[in-house]
Amino acid sequence: MYDLKLIKEVYDTMEQRIASARKKLKRPLSLAEKIIYSHLYEKNNITNHKRGEDYINFAPDRVAMQDATAQMALLQFMNAGKSKTAVPSTVHCDHLIQAYKEGKSDLSVALSKNKEVYDFLKSVTNKYGIGFWKPGAGIIHQILIENYAFPGGMMIGTDSHTVNAGGLGMMAIGVGGADAVDVMAGFPWELKSPKLMGIKLTGKLNGWTAPKDIILKVAGIVSAKGGTGYILEYFGEGAKSLSATGKGTICNMGAEVGATTSMFGYDESMDRFLRATDRAQVADLANSIKENLTGDPEFYDSAEKYFDKYIEIDLNTLEPSLNGPFTPDRCTPISEMVNEAPKNGWPVKIEYGLIGSCTNSSYEDITRASSVIKQAIDKNIEIKSNLTVTPGSERVKETLQRDGYLEPFEKAGAQIFANACGPCIGQWNRPGAEKKEKNTIVHSFNRNFAKRADGNPNTCAFVASPEMVTALVIAGNLTFNPLKDKLINRDGKEVMLDPPKGIELPVKGFLNNNPGFQAPSKEGSDIKIIVNPKSDRLQLLDPFAAWNGKNLKNLKLLIKAKGKCTTDHISMAGPWLQYRGHLDNISNNLLMGAVNAFNDKTNSVKNSITGEYGEVSKTQRIYKKEGISTIIVGDENYGEGSSREHAAMEPRFLGVKAVLAKSFARIHETNLKKQGMLALTFDKNSDYDKIMEDDTFNFTDLDKFAPEKPLHIELVHSNGSKDTIEVKHTYNNQQIEWFKAGSALNVIKKQK
Ligand code: MIC
Ligand code: SF4
């Protein structure tokens, strides 16, 4: 399945390219820099990039897409005029399977409900030479780490958690579909030269602490936006002591601090994982150039000097934590929960514990959690909360089953869902969620934004390691600290849970009877892609119109969003995932989760023509009909979270021209640029307060749009008074061309 030839080619030239970079920079290199300099689009153009400022053009080795984003990516690729993808690419069907009863029946419901979309993806992938992973095969990031990721490689994926592959030493970056189209069409992929954050791990995990606790701690230190523009590079003895999949968990959740990607240098854990997943040849190749697949020792020895930011974490003293609710960076060590929960009004009774997801469903994770649940049975302890398990891949699930590790979960009455995203992405048909009661759940996923798992805004979701989730489910109480608290069993005796015991890799090897992969045809030109014009799930795309070259005038305010406005707030997931291939239909969810700063309500904005309040998308459709352009105003870290470009395409499609925010999350900012929108930030954040509900916005110098030059907007308030504010942007010349042409895709089409 994996492409050995490709990996050989990368490794063959790596050493020499790294040597040239070292010479040019006159200093040792980090792992991130080694991968950067061996993946430049113009191979020999080695320059000393200014981190955080210069743009770099890359030639990634692979592209990966999941079904909820692949639809839009491939609809765009179909318009790019190519007959095959320029690099090996795959599509993974994981997001559209709803978790309700149990894996098998849920999967068969999904197969019939999503047939049209799966058939579309199957035929498009077949036509353009893209590998297709069937529904039920597993979650994209597990399939990638088990099959395609390789140390020192570079991959982009249309999902923010593509970064998971950093656990195997790969530079893997989440992007929007339009970026994937660039690479699949053979164009360079552009990224602002990332800054580097070094995280040294000392000591060794012990007892109840797990790799998850490392990233929960990092999220608490760095914050949800603190990683923006950074690559997080982990090193030190503690790093070497972690399994490859444990490293994957840490890299995975780097997305939650906004990091461009995270990675670990090649070590024996990766060698073991490659061999266990039938890739001994890759391990041998990697071993032959292993010092090129990790940072230079001199770099790590002077970490404080070379990294832009530097953190040290002592694993010996690390405590298990729970992060949440509503944001993944609110970190509470378990020993403090007993005070924090009552103080904050978090319900301590746990309704559900959910383990698995792309973040935490490795063999090691589930064996550790299994050892905890088994104790409840052996020690005759009543399990107080509901428990669900979503395995990450069929390969891991089959193997766990053979080795008897799923059995204790089944005995304990846990629901075992399909190998898919399920509850992690709102695809959870949770009984009673519609009552919107305040309640607490704990899970081992990565995100816990409001409504994310079950659509209930009053569900407080806490993120923890799978073994901690399992312990908390047994106790049924958020303040239970398994390190010191006792439980009373059915015999009335006091018992304690022993620390979890896991197995890194299956002793008898992985089973892989049912991979679920379909290779594409060698020759696809005869394959016709049919999209029913009456479909409500798929819609061919019309190109966006080019800019008319004039200053934008008389814009109305669609919404001034207050506080957190993630991509889940902008383009909700859950039931809306079914419209991911139909731009018109999905646009009906535009910004429905965002809080209007003027009335503190969601999905209620003033229509400046009628003065009435209505849903965001409906109001915007009226403006569109009336030919009135609009602007969205946002707070800090606007567009945090997912890579879904729908969050940028929907406003574009409905006639919004610009988003002006205090700051942006990286992927969303790029997505806006790619779709021909203006992504602007306040020069002075206090100007956010000047924006009034009835304002009219006039750009005064957009006709002189140029890199590094601020723009100016005149605000005309309803009482006739005016303010002119300065706004900043990060567009380079190429990106200004996208804006002028109407989208990046329009530029590709011209170049073809
Ligand atoms: C997520 O975890 O939010 C998702 C769903 O995987 C998204 C992709 C999507 O919105 O389709 C992501 O992280 O990019
Ligand atoms: Fe799927 Fe959740 Fe992972 Fe996103 S974070 S890929 S929704 S399992």
Burial-class residue 545 by CB neighbours within 10 Å (0-12, 13-18, 19+).
Answer: exposed
Does position 658 have pLDDT exceeding 90, yes or no? yes
Are 264 and 362 in the same domain?
Answer: no
Instruction: Give, in order, the Cα–Cα distances in Å from 434 to each of 163, 258, 455.
Output: 34, 31, 8
Does position 2 have pLDDT exceeding 80, yes or no? no
Residue 282 lies in a domain: yes
**Does 284 participate in catalysis according to the annotation?**
no
Are 352 and 255 in the same domain?
Answer: no
Query: Which ligand number lies closest to the CA of residue 445?
Result: 2
Averaged over 670-697, what is the pLDDT? 98
Task: Give the pLDDT band (50/70/90) at residue 632.
Answer: very high
Residue 94 lies in a domain: yes
Residue 68 CB–ligand 1 contact under 6 Å: yes
User: Which residue from 215, 249, 421 has its CB within 8 A of the most atoms of ligand 2, so it is best to mutate?
Assistant: 421
| pLDDT tens string 315-369 | 999 999 999 999 999 999 999 999 999 999 999 999 999 999 999 999 999 999 9
Residue 346 lies in a domain: yes
Q: Quote the tokens at residue 750.
A: 């011209």
**Does 94 participate in catalysis according to the annotation?**
yes
Averaged over 651-670, what is the pLDDT? 98
Atom number, ligand 2, closest to the C-alpha of residue 94:
1
Q: Quote the tokens at residue 136.
A: 């039920």
Measured distance CA(262)–CA(283) in Å, rounded: 21
60, 66, 69, 70: CA torsion to nearest 10? 70
**Can you spell out the DSSP letters for 503-559?**
-SS-TT----S---EEPPPS--TTPPP---TT-SSB-PPPPPPPP-SSPP-SEEEEE
Which residue is catalytic, options 39, 92, 447, 729? 447
Residue 421 CB–ligand 2 contact under 6 Å: yes
pLDDT value of residue 751: 82
**Crossing angle (nearest 10°) for helices 666-674 and 744-751:** 50
Are 491 and 588 in the same domain?
Answer: no
Are 307 and 336 in the same domain?
Answer: no
Averaged over 621-644, what is the pLDDT? 97
CATH value at residue 406: 3.30.499.10
**Does 447 participate in catalysis according to the annotation?**
yes
Q: Quote the tokens at residue 265.
A: 């240098």
Pairing mode, strands 494-495 and 487-488? antiparallel
- Residue-range definition of the domain harbouring residue 361: 321-495
Are 414 and 471 in the same domain?
Answer: yes
Cα of 320 vs its chain's centroid, Å:
23
Measured distance CA(745)–CA(177) in Å, rounded: 11
Are 570 and 675 in the same domain?
Answer: yes
Residue 162 CB–ligand 1 contact under 6 Å: no
Residue 536 lies in a domain: no
Are 255 and 336 in the same domain?
Answer: no
Residue 620 lies in a domain: yes
Residue 644 CB–ligand 1 contact under 6 Å: yes
| pLDDT tens string 290-299 | 999 999 999 9
Instruction: Give residues with Cβ within 8 angstroms of 300, minimum separation 6.
Output: 198, 200, 235, 236
Which residue is catalytic, options 89, 371, 608, 642? 642
Atom number, ligand 2, closest to the C-alpha of residue 141:
6
Which residue is catalytic, options 61, 106, 159, 329? 159
Task: Give the pLDDT band (50/70/90) at residue 749.
Answer: confident
Radius of gyration of the chain (CA): 25
Are 381 and 309 in the same domain?
Answer: no
Are 636 and 701 in the same domain?
Answer: yes
Does position 520 have pLDDT exceeding 70, yes or no? yes
What's the domain count of the chain?
A: 3
Instruction: Give residues with Cβ within 8 angstroms of 689, minimum separation 6.
Output: none
Averaged over 152-160, what is the pLDDT? 98
Task: Give the pLDDT band (50/70/90) at residue 49.
Answer: very high
Are 260 and 341 in the same domain?
Answer: no
Residue 357 CB–ligand 2 contact under 6 Å: yes
Measured distance CA(433)–CA(423) in Å, rounded: 12
Residue 252 CB–ligand 1 contact under 6 Å: no
Measured distance CA(562)–CA(60) in Å, rounded: 37
Q: For ligand 1, atom 1, which residue shows the shortest CA distance?
A: 642
Four-residue CA torsion sign, 489, 494, 495, 496: positive
Residue 446 CB–ligand 2 contact under 6 Å: yes
Averaged over 687-713, what is the pLDDT? 98
Element (H, E) at 469: helix 466-475
CB atoms within 10 A of CB 750: 9
Are 459 and 589 in the same domain?
Answer: no
* Model confidence, pTM: 0.96
pLDDT value of residue 752: 63
CB atoms within 10 A of CB 519: 12
Arithmetic mean of pLDDT over the chain:
97
Closest CA to 450 of 619, 620, 543, 564: 564
Residue 508 lies in a domain: no
**Does 95 participate in catalysis according to the annotation?**
yes
Residue 577 CB–ligand 2 contact under 6 Å: no
**Does 17 participate in catalysis according to the annotation?**
no
CA of 357 to the centre of ligand 2 (A): 6
Are 302 and 399 in the same domain?
Answer: no
Atom number, ligand 2, closest to the C-alpha of residue 159:
6
